[in-house]
A = this chain, B = another copy of it.
Amino acid sequence: MERKTLTTAAGPYIAVFDSGVGGLTVLAELRKQYPNNSFLYLGDTARVPYGTKSPVMVTRYALEAAWFLSRYPLECFVIACNTVSAVALPALRAAHPDIPILEVVTPGALSAVEATQNKQILVLGTEGTIASGAYQKAIHALDPEIEVYGVACPLFVPLAEEGIVSGPIVKMTVQMYLEPFLKKEIDTIVLGCTHYPLLRNAIQEAVGENVKVVDSVAPLTKRLRSHLIHTIEGRPRLRIFVTDHSDRFMRIGRRFLDGNLDEPTQIDLEEMFYENQRLINEPPSLSV
């Protein structure tokens, strides 16, 4: 695919991509660790959520997003969405061999493998992530002896987005998903979705203090360091793009980003992507 890079003073950027607002929790942590870097964030709010959609559709959306972000000078591309990491990574790497792509499944798996003592791990994720078996593969690549269980928790995302992160509804929902696993000897739980850390307390309470609840953020942050080879001249910048600009994004985003959220820029991924594809396939004839 043709790559046309936009020049910019604040780059190269670390591009963070998510299906919606959830990846802002990852962005917040990365900015804390790398305050001198410039960031782009793209949330595909017009088509969120990805977790209940097919791998083909998630891959297509991710390719459109990566194509948009790749027109900026990038230090690297961070997939902050577990569902995209789980199903679209090979396609993204094939389409953008020149951009380092970091994702969240491998770091999450690493956290879990480092935490487990008895080699019994439970992965919580969206339907798409759990069905892909991506965590299982990533964990087994690190230690094939580990027993990996997985459970899709489709109500966790709406609860987190509504800000309902404690109280009896959350407690019973957590109980409903985890109940079948409470009698197993699991000692580590991976939060395999960027929304789930918001429910960490409720999950920790349900499983007790002897079970470690881990996520991908710390290893991802560490891994990012080796890709940051440029020094930004001038003031580091954050630009936020969304595919649907709604009050909802601002309201939830502020909560996820500790109160600070600049007005995002709305873009039309579909139209831009198809127009670009068309120009590649049918270059406009030059009038002489």
Give the interface of A toward B (CB within 8 A): 45-47, 52-54, 56-57, 127, 154-155, 158-159, 161-162, 164, 168-169, 172-173, 176, 244-246, 248, 270-271, 274, 278
Contact = CB atoms under 8 A, between A and B. Distances in A.
Contacts of A168: 172
B47 A246 contact: no
A57 B53 contact: no
Contacts of A127: 248
Given A158-B154, A168-B172, A169-B173, A54 B274 contact: no
B246 A54 contact: yes
Tell me how many chains of this kind the complex includes: 2
Nearest to A248: B52
Contact of A158 (B47, B158, B246): B158
A248 B172 CA distance: 24
Q: Chain A: interface secondary structure?
A: helix
Given A53-B244, A54-B244, A154-B158, 16 more contacts: A46-B53, A46-B57, A52-B248, A54-B245, A56-B244, A57-B246, A155-B158, A155-B159, A155-B162, A155-B164, A158-B158, A168-B172, A169-B169, A169-B172, A169-B176, A172-B172
17 contacts: A45-B53, A52-B248, A53-B244, A53-B246, A56-B244, A154-B158, A154-B161, A154-B162, A155-B155, A155-B159, A155-B162, A155-B164, A169-B172, A169-B176, A270-B274, A274-B274, A278-B278
A57 B245 CA distance: 9
A127 to B, nearest CB: 7
Nearest to A152: B162
Contacts of A45: 53
A154 B176 CA distance: 20
A45 B47 CA distance: 10
A144 to B, nearest CB: 29
Contact of A271 (B53, B54, B57, B274): B274
A167 B154 CA distance: 17
Contacts of A53: 45-46, 244, 246
A274 to B, nearest CB: 5
Nearest to A245: B54
A176 to B, nearest CB: 7
A45 B54 CA distance: 10
Closest 6 CB pairs of A and B: A54-B246, A57-B244, A158-B158, A270-B270, A47-B47, A169-B172
Nearest to A168: B172
Contacts of A159: 155
